[in-house]
Chains A and B, each alone.
Chain A
């Protein structure tokens, strides 16, 4: 039976949350579709709205950093987009996930579902947006005949998996915390703002290395940085500006693999802990909401 996971429930027989979610994978897809449908229902621009956000960022940052501050990064648009899309995936995943249990309280209070499905659906819906935005970026690359670093693309794909797992872990955790602390979302906004500027998206990692020297590896303690760097390395693909300024670290694939692998390990451990915490408190959701 498809809902076999329901058969033995209760504190005596904890069911693996992953198995239960797997049984409900089709529901996950339905919830993601619902989210996308609802978001664009009644808006004439539809999916173009999700392009508007990176386009606006692009315009503003181009003016500020390229024209006013003259940061000297060639083809700044492609540099910015290759990091920004990853950041958008990460940040919209966790901010969507954080509010997901509260937003779906009508369901949580009335029907039994593996409740971790709501934060995961938020991550899934952010992922769909990412794919659309990536589609636009790829179109730009193809049309302009831009040369990406083919040998680094598989690392970027790995980085994508890692960032999704990381976002899911943080999202699941925050979704649970937000049930009893409704201001998590406000805190999160501030944290994400700081986090964004701590990640080399607008400015190049080369600048960080220049200023911090040996201590530049401290900047890699930010797990998002490692993933953003691997995307920039694969898509933007230029390590040095024409004037000799360093943009990306001049390192081999192994260096990137090590960083992304470490973040991946962290993400998996975090996801495990997040599920465990979620599982321990989800029984209270229906009464706490």
Chain B
């Protein structure tokens, strides 16, 4: 049984200028002509299902309708047409601490908020200590929340909401609040929800986050669903939608845009389109001129498929998460499937900077002088990175399987995977250095030296 089913939901907002807002206006303006209402369709015929235990990301640019859709699922807005069905207890984290009353103490607000979110008083009592310790507010729980900092406010709101233990959790951008440590805690909580088989729908601009924690993603553009599928592919579609106007400009300069289907002859990269990057079954915009392809995209075009990448896992060793802290160990595990016996396979990984796509580090089994056996059938190759000296951010990972001489590309996944780094290091940039600062005053000169 699906946890959420959204069937052909459309939502119309009526914008009426000069419409009467008060009874007085209604009486006074009676009979006067009012401008006809302008209709704005925030959602059009959106349908999708979310299975029990699935984590689905909802992405789209500003104004694409993703928050409206989430509100329709949450029952806050009623769809103009179509229907939404939710099975199970639902909690929505649309705004943390909505319903907190500033004059009430933290304790009173926990009970109030808990019961707004559907807990009985007894249930709140049972979870009260967990809530307070999760929010790390033991010392302030009996002060009115108007004296709380915004961080404390949000922490308490999140703590109550996640302790409702909903079957279906709707999250709107709230994971980007609080400090790094609290964010990590929130992510941990979300991931423990996933392990418990709860259903999560997440709205976010942070595509990296969506890619790392969602099984699936739904992309909205101007109220229409334009992609629904594997998170990585959906993110690619999203980026495409976001940058579509620029792409069109590129196309305009090209007299004869090539638009081959995705299954174009791989041996001829010059003729292929970039459709391989779009979601399955999705008609992409006209392909860019071949010269626009990056090296990586060409590699993807050129793969022969002798060995296939079946699955890739990047995350910290021993933890079932996809984020690490600076200095943690990181595993990149590549599961391959070789259709025939191949003796010259070389596995490579490259880590890029999520902000500009520039390579941070790359290595392959050839450079590492790893003796590669003849591979046939399924197996894994694990790259164990002893330490990740990176600052906070999202780092896309490219995986390639080539021949030793790199003349044949068996399979290539250009930046399709990624891991997140959470850093306690306060520095800016990309590399996490260990820094100690010593300040010493010299005897005769009263100046201060800083050293980094």
Number of A-B residue pairs at CB separation under 8 A: 103
Tell me whether B23 and A183 are in contact (CB under 8 A): yes
Q: Is A6 an interface residue (CB 8 A)?
A: yes
Tell me whether B116 and A9 are in contact (CB under 8 A): no
Closest A residue by C-beta to B9: A10
Tell me whether A107 and B116 are in contact (CB under 8 A): yes
Over the window 49-84 of chain B, the binary record of Cβ atoms lying under 8 Å from chain A Cβ atoms (1 yes, 0 no) is 000000000000000000000010011111100011
Q: Is B231 an interface residue (CB 8 A)?
A: no
Q: Is B147 an interface residue (CB 8 A)?
A: no
Tell me whether A12 and B83 are in contact (CB under 8 A): yes
Q: Is A181 an interface residue (CB 8 A)?
A: yes
Closest B residue by C-beta to A39: B103
Q: Is B126 an interface residue (CB 8 A)?
A: no
Q: Is A137 an interface residue (CB 8 A)?
A: no
Q: Is A110 an interface residue (CB 8 A)?
A: yes
**Which chain B residues lie closer than 8 Å to A181 at the CB level?**
20-23, 26
Tell me whether A183 and B24 are in contact (CB under 8 A): yes
Q: For window 1-43 of chain A, which residues contact chain B by CB distance below 8 Å?
A: 1-3, 6-12, 26-27, 30-31, 34, 37-38, 41-42
Over the window 37-71 of chain A, the binary record of Cβ atoms lying under 8 Å from chain B Cβ atoms (1 yes, 0 no) is 11001100000000000000000000000000000
Q: Is B251 an interface residue (CB 8 A)?
A: no
Tell me whether B94 and A111 are in contact (CB under 8 A): yes
Interface size class of B (residues with CB under 8 A): 35 or more
Closest A residue by C-beta to B83: A10
Knowing A9-B86, A12-B83, A287-B13 are in contact, say whether A107-B99 is a contact too (CB < 8 A): yes
Give the distance in Å from the alpha carbon of A3 to the alpha carbon of B166 in the complex. Answer: 11
**Which chain A residues lie closer than 8 Å to B26 at the CB level?**
181
**Which chain B residues lie closer than 8 Å to A113 at the CB level?**
116
Tell me whether B22 and A26 are in contact (CB under 8 A): no
Tell me whether A7 and B87 are in contact (CB under 8 A): yes
**Which chain B residues lie closer than 8 Å to A27 at the CB level?**
115-116, 118
Interface of B is mostly: loop
Closest Cβ–Cβ distance, residue A167 to chain B (whole Å): 21
Knowing A111-B98, A112-B92, A183-B22 are in contact, say whether A34-B112 is a contact too (CB < 8 A): yes
Give the distance in Å from the alpha carbon of A285 to the alpha carbon of B186 in the complex. Answer: 31
Knowing A10-B83, A110-B92 are in contact, say whether A182-B112 is a contact too (CB < 8 A): no
Closest Cβ–Cβ distance, residue A185 to chain B (whole Å): 10
Tell me whether A6 and B75 are in contact (CB under 8 A): yes
Q: Report 21 cross-chain contacts, Cβ distance below 8 Å, ordered by A residue.
A: A3-B90, A6-B90, A6-B118, A7-B87, A9-B85, A10-B83, A10-B85, A11-B78, A11-B83, A26-B115, A27-B115, A30-B112, A30-B121, A37-B108, A109-B76, A111-B74, A112-B74, A112-B92, A183-B23, A282-B78, A287-B77
* Additional A-B contacts beyond A7-B87, A110-B98 (14; CB < 8 A): A1-B89, A9-B85, A11-B83, A27-B118, A31-B112, A34-B104, A111-B98, A112-B76, A112-B92, A182-B22, A183-B23, A283-B77, A287-B13, A287-B77
Which residues of A does B touch, CB under 8 Å?
A: 1-3, 6-12, 26-27, 30-31, 34, 37-38, 41-42, 106-113, 180-184, 187, 282-284, 286-287
